[in-house]
């Protein structure tokens, strides 16, 4: 059975008596534990840093927990820079990755003192002419056909992100000529990987680039950002990445590299978002309808407007059934074996789109009733953040469970007034 981040099912049932479904619920202690695991696994690396990917979960309350753990933030838009600023992140605690970026965004990032990560060398001169280049710049490497990707980011050779090897060398050369004095290196080529060897290969690739830049351009890299990509076990059968084992392997690689007198120490960084907050969130929704045509359907009060990943990527979010009766037993959909013939459902929302399915052909179990709860696991990253308003759907409330067990509202549910607030209404026709 896949555990929920709560002390008891009765506690969760109690929450649903006070708060309307659907809602997102995050667990502070789980977020803190994930941060500590990553820090401990790379404690050997002097000044180790993880820049939490703000796009994973941009709520300021979440970002504040991240800040208290000593991590920075990875931003890629003006809004994310504003959130970082409002939460108190400053200077090189902010890593700003460009991607078809406007001058307005560059200006804000430079104003905050962020590390600027370029993925287009043509932007160097543009930024210099507009506001001036900072003395510390970074470039994003895309290895192309040398590495494989996955369904989320795609293969590197087909991805819009980053620079080729030749462009990378050109970028550092130009930046040096333009007066930049400090240099970092970045890549992000895979997402949600559970393959430790695959993640280690990224470190090998990047450390070789550090050598190339020193040998060919006499560029000293001061910081290497290996990106994110650490997966989480969405399915009960998935095996977690051992950050401790990965950290030990990368440590040996790093120390072997530094045994050569030509290389000086550099700061090691990641930009993990999913790994930090993904396991700390659940989406709680209620069954409002049961329907049978050519398939069995469970209609819930959430939709892909709240949880897009299954429709967008075909992603799996484990789903648990909680009977909202005096019985407090949680019936795990993956392991329930009773009456399998009548236990498989598509879990659907009410959007006018056939892909509005939170789960497809999922073994929910028997004795499922309208009014029961469904809980979607591991929704703390790239879930609420990807919500949308198509079909006039409203975004749900978000709460965080504090170490005391008390819930704190960190984002209220949208209203129709919110939805219509930007419309310039036409005058009524007589």
Span 180-195, pLDDT tens digits: 999 999 999 888 999 9
Going by their DSSP bridges, the two strands 115-118 and 94-97 should be labelled as parallel
Respond yes or no on whether the N-terminal peptide bond of residue 22 is cis (omega within 30° of 0): yes
pLDDT at 1: 45
Kind and range of the H or E element at 219? none
| Residue 98 contacts residue 118 (beta carbons within 8 Å) | yes
Quickly state the pLDDT bin for 126 (edges 50, 70, 90). very high
Instruction: Print burial letters for 100-135: b (CB count within 10 Å at least 16), e (below 16).
Output: ebeeebbebbbebebbbbbbbbebbeebeeeeebbe
pLDDT at 2: 61
DSSP 412: P
User: Which residues are tagged catalytic?
Assistant: 352
Q: What are the residue ranges spanned by the domains of the chain?
A: 28-275, 279-420
pLDDT at 353: 97
Instruction: Kindly state the average pLDDT of the residues 252-278.
Output: 93
pLDDT at 340: 41
3-state class of 224 per DSSP?
A: strand
| Residue 113 contacts residue 90 (beta carbons within 8 Å) | yes
Assign domain 28-275 to its CATH architecture: Alpha-Beta Barrel (3.20)
Quickly state the pLDDT bin for 149 (edges 50, 70, 90). low
| Residue 21 contacts residue 46 (beta carbons within 8 Å) | no
Can you tell me which residue has the tokens 């989480």? 232
Domain 279-420 classification at class level: mainly beta
Q: How many CA atoms lie within 13 A of 274 on its CB side?
A: 21
139, two tokens: 């470039």
């Amino acid at each position: 059975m896949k555990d929920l981040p709560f002390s008891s099912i009765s506690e969760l049932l109690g929450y649903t008596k006070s708060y309307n479904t659907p809602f997102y619920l995050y667990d502070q202690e789980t977020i803190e534990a994930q941060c500590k695991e990553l820090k401990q696994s790379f404690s050997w690396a002097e000044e180790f840093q993880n820049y939490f990917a703000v796009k994973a979960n941009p709520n300021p309350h979440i970002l504040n927990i991240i800040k208290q753990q000593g991590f920075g933030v990875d931003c890629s838009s003006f809004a994310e820079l504003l959130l970082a600023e409002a939460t108190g992140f400053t200077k090189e605690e902010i890593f700003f990755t460009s991607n078809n970026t406007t001058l307005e965004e560059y200006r804000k990032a430079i104003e905050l003192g962020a590390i600027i990560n370029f993925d287009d060398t043509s932007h160097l001169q543009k930024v210099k002419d507009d506001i001036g280049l900072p003395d510390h710049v970074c470039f994003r490497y895309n290895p192309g056909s040398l590495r494989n990707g996955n369904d989320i980011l795609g293969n590197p050779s087909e991805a819009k992100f980053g620079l080729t090897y030749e462009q990378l060398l050109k970028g550092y050369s130009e930046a040096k000529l333009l007066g930049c004095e400090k240099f970092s290196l970045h890549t992000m080529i895979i997402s949600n990987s559970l393959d430790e060897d695959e993640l280690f290969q990224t470190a090998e690739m990047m450390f070789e680039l550090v050598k190339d830049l020193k040998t060919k351009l006499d560029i000293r890299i001061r910081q290497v950002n290996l990106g994110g990509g650490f997966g989480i076990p969405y399915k009960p059968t998935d095996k977690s990445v051992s950050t401790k084992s990965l950290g030990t392997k990368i440590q040996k690689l790093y120390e072997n590299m530094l045994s050569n007198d030509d290389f000086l120490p550099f700061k090691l960084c990641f930009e993990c978002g999913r790994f930090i907050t993904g396991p700390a969130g659940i989406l709680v929704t209620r069954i409002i309808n049961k329907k049978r045509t050519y398939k069995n359907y469970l209609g819930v009060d959430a939709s892909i407007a709240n949880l897009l990943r299954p429709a967008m990527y075909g992603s799996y979010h484990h789903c648990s059934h909680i009977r909202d009766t005096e019985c407090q037993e949680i019936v795990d959909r993956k392991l329930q074996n009773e009456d399998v013939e009548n236990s498989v459902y598509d879990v659907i929302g009410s959007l006018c789109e056939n892909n509005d399915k939170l789960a497809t052909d999922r073994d929910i179990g028997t004795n499922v009733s309208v009014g029961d709860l469904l809980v979607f696991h591991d929704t703390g990253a790239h879930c609420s953040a990807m919500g949308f308003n198509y079909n006039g759907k409203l975004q749900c409330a978000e709460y965080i469970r504090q170490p005391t067990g008390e819930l704190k509202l960190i984002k209220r549910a949208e209203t129709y007034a919110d939805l219509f607030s930007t419309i310039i209404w036409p005058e009524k026709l007589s």
